[in-house]
């Protein structure tokens, strides 16, 4: 399945974690963000970030060059994209036809 392969490729990279006292925050790379949010590449993610059109904020840890995203932010963006599936029950369909 195509979608499953895309998520599996993101899992090949180890998720980085940063510790702030008792709190651990899962962070992912721009390549993983590209895979999960269906961007063509990590470069496209960085460009969208610069333009202000990326649905998740990107962060730098310390003086490092690499941009990272919080996994929780990406999960939230994916959840907001989902639409509830519309299923029409047979009873509702019959009621509509009757009116």
Task: Flag the least confident range among 8-12, 59-63, 94-98.
Answer: 8-12
The answer to whether position 95 is within a domain reads: no
| pLDDT value of residue 90 | 56
The answer to whether position 98 is within a domain reads: no
| pLDDT value of residue 15 | 47
Query: Is the whole-model pTM more than 0.75?
Result: no
Task: Flag the least confident range among 6-10, 33-37, 68-72, 88-92.
Answer: 6-10
Phi and psi at residue 32, to the nearest 5°: -65, -40
* Number of folded domains that form the chain: 1
The answer to whether position 58 is within a domain reads: yes
| pLDDT value of residue 97 | 54
- Most confident among 13-27, 45-59, 61-75 (mean pLDDT): 45-59
The answer to whether position 7 is within a domain reads: yes
| pLDDT value of residue 93 | 52
Domain of residue 54, residue span: 2-76
Instruction: Calculate the alpha carbon distances from 15 to 11, 25, 30, 84, 97 in Å.
Output: 8, 10, 11, 29, 52
């Amino acid at each position: 399945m195509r979608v499953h392969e895309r998520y599996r490729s993101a899992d090949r990279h180890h998720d980085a974690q940063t510790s702030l006292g008792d709190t651990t925050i899962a962070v992912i790379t721009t390549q993983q963000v590209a895979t999960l949010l269906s961007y063509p590449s990590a470069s496209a993610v960085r460009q969208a970030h610069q333009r202000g059109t990326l649905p998740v904020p990107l962060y730098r840890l310390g003086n490092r060059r690499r941009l990272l995203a919080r996994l929780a932010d990406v999960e939230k963006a994916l959840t907001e994209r989902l639409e509830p599936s519309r299923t029409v029950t047979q009873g509702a369909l019959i009621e509509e036809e009757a009116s």
